[in-house]
Amino acid sequence: MYSIGYHDAGTPASVSTKSVRVEIDGQSLQVPEGTSIMRAASEAGVSVPKLCATDTLKSFGSCRLCLVEIEGRKGYPASCTTQVADGMKIRTQSPKLSELRHGVMELYISDHPLDCVTCPANGHCELQNMAEVCGVTETRYGLAGEKHAGLEKDQTNPYFVFDPNMCIACSRCVRACDETQGTLALTMAGRGFESQISASQDQDFIDSECVSCGACVEACPTAALSETTLAVQGQPTRSVATTCAYCGVGCSFKAEIKDGPKGAEVVRMAPNRDGHANHGHACVKGRFAFGYATHPDRVTQPMIRKRISDPWREVSWDEAIGYAAQEFKRIQAEHGKYSVGGITSSRCTNEETFLVQKLVRAAFANNNVDTCARVCHSPTGYGLKHTLGESAGTQEFDSVMQADVIMVIGANPTEGHPVFASQMKRRLRQGAKLIILDPRAIGLVRAPHIEADYHLQLRPGTNVALINALAHVVVTEGLARDEYIAERCEAASYAKWKQFIADPGNSPEQTEAATGVPAALVRAAARLYAGANNGAIYYGLGVTEHSQGSTMVMGIANLAMATGNLGRAGVGVSPLRGQNNVQGACDMGSFPHEFSGYRHVSDTTVRGLFESAWQVRLESEPGLRIPNMFDAALDGSFRGMYIQGEDLAQSDPNTNHVVAALTALECLVVQDLFLNETAKYAHVFLPGSSFLEKNGTFTNAERRISRVRKAIEPLAGLEDWEVTMKLSKALGYEMNYRHPSEIMDEIARLTPTFTGVSYEKLDRLGSIQWPCNDAAPDGTPTMHVSQFVRGKGKFYVTEYVPTDERTSSRYPLILTTGRVLSQYNVGAQTRRTANNRWHDEDRLEIHPHDAESRGIREGDWTGISSRAGDTVMRATLTERVQPGVVYTTFHFPESGANVVTTDNSDWATNCPEYKVTAVQVALVSQPESWRARSIAARQRPRVTETQ
């Protein structure tokens, strides 16, 4: 069932620029060449009856309900599979057509349950609607014949039910799984009357290859596949367009709501078919895992306590805000104004992050503000700013549909960015080539109808050596686009880089010893990428979370510039951002050294602009980054912290170090939905509001600003931006905004790349990709088109420097980390949903050879030790990881994945090196004693850190 109120045009729009004129039921109109008759009719306001057609899927022509008459042609062609032709005259209504449709509908109805009143799709069932349209109130075949009745429902999936009794065999679910999602988990098994939808090899949905994206549920015209919430909560009655709060794809949704005695409640999240980032698709998190917003664990009452060993005391908003402000003022009075700071959140809106950094700069009067992007994509900002001139990806997602060669580096799109992965897979099925650089065999290496042309399975920590080797081949084999470079890039920097990269030390043969990637594969992959008309690079945290993260980003930009793959659709360098608003949090001035729009705090002109607008003197020196804050907390020069919407104690590396720092703080204020791990060390807890409870905007990985709209009232009574305003006022710096639109207006006044952004324009255009200003009033899908933002592109010498984190006889394996599809980041949201059915613990992936030598079998508890700490997890034996490498996720606090990661970091930005930790893994017979040892170590601050 697609979203309520949506008018389905039946078949996808034609992209042809040529048009033809046709006549439909006497009405003349012009439509693009290649348009189906069904869609043309829809554009003329004529709804042709249909069941197997929907505008997100290719026409199929199986239901025989959409028959039409065409003047001068025999028969009754299906309007979904017949394209218009110039001068065509079409009739969609006639006595004969009515008779034919009536007969078809009678057959459908004769084999369908007639319990519409109790059906979850009642009122939104296409079969029900078509029966009414065709005037079928009874069937001449009777109801006594053989039917698909009494078949067992599949209720194994927590989010939807498959009721084969309701199925009309239209194949929309199968086609949605194939065309929209690209998993190909469903099929029509059997023949004739025995035809039946089958998940994988006739398995239950939960055990099949189904990834629960819900595309099949949305495509189903009946209640054969329907959300469980519809049966429990009933039909929604209205919807609010908003933006998903999970990954950086930023899917647009219609939050479908039912108003009841307890207020509004969300029944479904239906992906918005007009959504520019997702085009009507969604994943298991965005579509289904929204129940956390009303989970009983939500804390909706402010709380305070004097010491972290004290019990929490529930207080009013005013008391909590007053206490927090009083403590921050006391600390600043006793230890100086630089002794406090704040953290903005990549999960909160642009307007909220802007306010938190404004509070720190204006009310705290220092620049000790940072954001969780510090620990994920800060090297992207540094690397792309220096090489190209802007701290953001270069493309829109749709650009991938014009890519001929796609290079995926250190990203796992099918798990981390599933909706974009589906689009990428669509392009790959059309024939684009695929190169993957990853230590692990991610899902894209081999999937239905997809196989990577080259998987360069490098050793963790050797990214820069590998990107240099690829560039070496480009330069030394004459594959560089000299004309493009001469026109677009700095000649001196290119000459210097060319000399560096051509050095035999960077050749695939020389770097093979470090990377472990056979030289022949590197050469072949380089030739493929460099030879493409359009080569596009997509990368993730496997690039940034290294000691050379920034160097690697520069290396990627070097490679793209050298091959002319920047500045048009189909090419580019695109970071896949982990959280929903990482890009936005960075744009909004969350880093300690820069204001919104990436302008340094030492710039007197820029600072003057903000001082004038905010009527306060601002600091010209950079403040502390998150890891610096931890160090400063341990040396006593940093004693108070305001954290909005982040869980540093779980997400940041070297947990023991983080906990020691948090414990040392005199005032920690946590604003969150839940009492997270960090809140264990907090003195003030301020209830947060979920994305369903507030207004604002998110900016996704393609720089697309999209509206977040309030669907339900805030459970704790205040939206997050209102809480920040109250705290700022209590600190003595008053902010007066009546609505987040006024915050955005201020952002637009102060930020050159946002000059043209307003809520009015966002409502009108649907979304906007910045830069949006006088030069680009509707936004900028592709950056660096005529020239780079910095003018000429700059090549940087990217010498490979091995990380300090080395294996040894004591720590012989390398641990690297990542994500799974069903969970998100620290799991605070997804762990409080039925997504746990797919992944209810973090597992350690280990190669069978490494497991065998340690006596470890599938499911065994293992102890993982590093130079930073110890933890325990159960083992999964898999050849996805190479020998010598182990892998895990960090979604569950009890697994303590970050207890073992170290505080090594990127040289330029201090982004932690999550991806390389030397460990030993051993079979553990008593996991609880290991876990207890680990927890005890975390709770016991190290003497050296407290001195």
Partner 1 sequence: MHIDHLVKMTNEIATFFASESTPADAPREVASHLTKFWDPRMRREIIAYGQQGGAGLSDLARSAVNMLVMPAPR
555 scored as a contact of partner 1 (CB under 8 A): no
CA 515 to chain centre: 29
- Give the one residue of 13, 151, 401, 797 binding partner 1; rule: CB under 8 A: 797
Residues whose CB falls within 8 Å of the CB of residue 617, separated by 6 or more in sequence, listed in order: 365, 611
Contacting range for partner 1; rule: CB under 8 A; set: 323-331, 333-341, 434-442, 773-781: 333-341
Interface with partner 1, residue 423, by CB under 8 A: no
Size of site (CB under 8 A) for partner 1: 33
Stretch that binds partner 1, among 31-39, 92-100, 275-283, 622-630 (CB under 8 A): 622-630
Verify binding: residue 387, partner 1, rule CB under 8 A.
no
Q: What sign does the dihedral 771-773-775-780 (CA atoms) show?
A: positive
User: Least separation, in Å, of the C-beta of 628 and partner 1?
Assistant: 6
- If one asks whether residue 138 binds partner 1 (CB under 8 A), the answer comes out as no
Nearer to partner 1, 319 or 799 (CB): 799
Contacts of the segment 128-133: beta carbons below 8 A, 24+ positions apart = 130/49, 130/50, 130/51, 130/65, 130/105, 131/105, 133/47, 133/49
- Alpha-carbon gap, residue 864 to 921, rounded angstroms: 5
Question: Out of 593, 837, 867, 933, which residue is the one contacting partner 1 (CB under 8 A)?
Answer: 593
Q: Is 134 left (phi over 0), alpha (psi -120 to 50) or beta?
A: alpha
Nearer to partner 1, 101 or 374 (CB): 374
Q: Report the residue from 338, 454, 610, 698 that binds partner 1 according to the rule CB under 8 A.
A: 338
Rank residues 623 and 640 by Cβ distance to partner 1 and give the closer one.
Answer: 623
Pairing between β-strand 454-456 and β-strand 433-437 as defined by DSSP bridges: parallel
- Residue 45-84 contact track with partner 1, rule CB under 8 A, x = bound: ----------------------------------------
Pick the binder of partner 1 from 280, 535, 575, 623 (CB under 8 A). Answer: 623
336 touches partner 1 by CB under 8 A: yes
Beta carbon of residue 386, minimum distance to partner 1 (angstroms, whole number): 10
* Nearest distance in Å: CB 342, partner 1: 14
Closer Cβ to partner 1, 252 or 332, answer by number: 332
Query: What secondary structure does DSSP assign to 597-659, as a single string?
Result: TTEETT-HHHHHHHHHHHTS----S----HHHHHHHHHHTS--EEEEES--HHHHSS-HHHHH
The number of CA neighbours under 13 Å toward the Cβ of 395 is 27
Q: How far is the CB of 631 from partner 1 (least distance, A)?
A: 5
For partner 1, which residue of 291, 322, 531, 622 counts as binding (CB under 8 A)? 622
Q: Which is nearer to partner 1, 462 or 689 (CB)?
A: 462
19 binds partner 1 (CB under 8 A): no
Q: How far is the CB of 855 from partner 1 (least distance, A)?
A: 37
Stretch of 45-53, 623-631, 714-722, 815-823 contacting partner 1, by CB under 8 A: 623-631
Q: Distance (Å, rounded) from C-alpha 751 to C-alpha 742?
A: 14
Burial 448-479 (b: 16+ CB within 10 A, else e): eebebebbbbbbbbbbbbbbbbbbbbbbbeeb
CA–CA gap between residue 846 and residue 861 (Å, rounded): 12
Distance CA 743, CA 29 (A): 44
Query: Tokens representing 37?
Result: 């008759």
Beta carbon nearer to partner 1, 62 or 637 = 637
Contacts with partner 1, 458-487, as mask; x by CB under 8 A: ------------------------------
Closest CA to 675 of 288, 289, 311, 245: 311
List the helix and strand counts (H, then E) for the chain: 30, 36
Stretch touching partner 1 by CB under 8 A, among 87-95, 423-431, 878-886, 908-916: 908-916
In this structure, are residues 557 and 551 in contact, taking their beta carbons and an 8 Å threshold? no
Locate all alpha helices (DSSP H) within 243-335, ordered by sequence.
317-335
Q: Is the peptide bond before 771 cis (omega within 30 degrees of 0)?
A: yes
Per-residue x/- marks for partner 1, 344-383, CB under 8 A? ------------------------x---------------
**397: its two tokens:** 């997602």
Strand (E) or helix (H) holding 696: strand 696-699
Kindly provide the b/e burial profile for residues 625-660, where b requires at least 16 CB atoms within 10 angstroms of the residue's own CB.
bbbbbbbbbbeeebbbbbbbbbbbbbbbbbbbbbbb
Residues 799-858 within binding reach of partner 1 (CB under 8 A): 799, 801, 804
Report, in Å, the least distance between residue 798 CB and partner 1: 8
Q: How far is the CB of 744 from partner 1 (least distance, A)?
A: 29
Cβ burial of 330 (10 Å; 0-12, 13-18, 19+) is middle
618 binds partner 1 (CB under 8 A): no
Based on CB atoms, which residue is closest to partner 1, 237 or 499? 499
> Which x/- pattern over 759-788 shows residues binding partner 1 (rule: CB under 8 A)?
------------------------------
Which of 602, 853, 926, 929 binds partner 1 (CB under 8 A)? It is 602
Q: Which is nearer to partner 1, 105 or 601 (CB)?
A: 601
Question: Which listed residue (500, 685, 770, 890) binds partner 1 by CB under 8 A?
Answer: 500
- 164: region left, alpha or beta (phi > 0 left; psi from -120 to 50 alpha): alpha
Nearer to partner 1, 171 or 656 (CB): 656
Looking at residue 514, its amino acid is: A
CB of 280 to partner 1, least distance (A): 42
Does 494 bind partner 1 (CB under 8 A)? Our answer is: no
Instruction: Give the CA distances from residue 658 to residues 371, 655, 662, in Å, rounded to whole numbers and listed in that order.
Output: 15, 5, 6
Residue 908 in contact with partner 1, rule: CB under 8 A:
yes
- 16-23: long-range contacts at Cβ-Cβ below 8 A with a sequence spacing of 24 or more? 20/84, 20/85, 20/86, 20/87, 20/88, 21/86, 21/87, 22/84, 22/85, 22/86, 22/87, 22/88, 22/89, 22/90, 23/88, 23/89, 23/90
The amino acid present at 106, given as its one-letter code, is E
Q: Which of 591, 633, 619 is nearest to 370 (CA)?
A: 591
d(CA 867, CA 851): 21
Specify the residue, 208 or 511, whose C-beta has the smaller distance to partner 1.
511
**632 binds partner 1, rule: CB under 8 A:** yes
Smaller CB distance to partner 1: residue 338 or 538?
Answer: 338
- Window of 663-671, 720-728, 806-814, 906-914 that interacts with partner 1 by CB under 8 A: 906-914
Distance CA 800, CA 399 (A): 31
Which residues between 173 and 192 bind partner 1 (CB under 8 A)?
none
Verify binding: residue 907, partner 1, rule CB under 8 A.
yes
Binding mask 717-756 for partner 1 (x = CB under 8 A): ----------------------------------------
Query: Residue 729 is inside which H or E element, if any?
Result: helix 720-731
Mark the segment that binds partner 1 (CB under 8 A) among 231-239, 330-338, 639-647, 822-830: 330-338
Does residue 551 interact with partner 1 by CB under 8 A? yes
Q: Based on the shown chain and the rule CB under 8 A, indicate whether residue 621 belongs to the binding site for partner 1.
A: yes
Edge-to-edge strands, sheet with 696-699: 696-699, 704-708, 767-769
Task: Considering only the stretches 217-225, 238-246, 530-538, 900-908, report the one whose residues sit in contact with partner 1 under the rule CB under 8 A.
Answer: 900-908
Rounded to 10 deg, the angle between the 508-515 and 463-476 helix axes is 170
Q: Which stretch binds partner 1 (CB under 8 A): 663-671, 703-711, 792-800, 886-894?
A: 792-800
Binding site for partner 1 (CB under 8 A): 336-338, 368, 500, 547, 551, 592-593, 600, 602, 621-625, 628, 631-632, 634-635, 637, 796-799, 801, 804, 905, 907-910
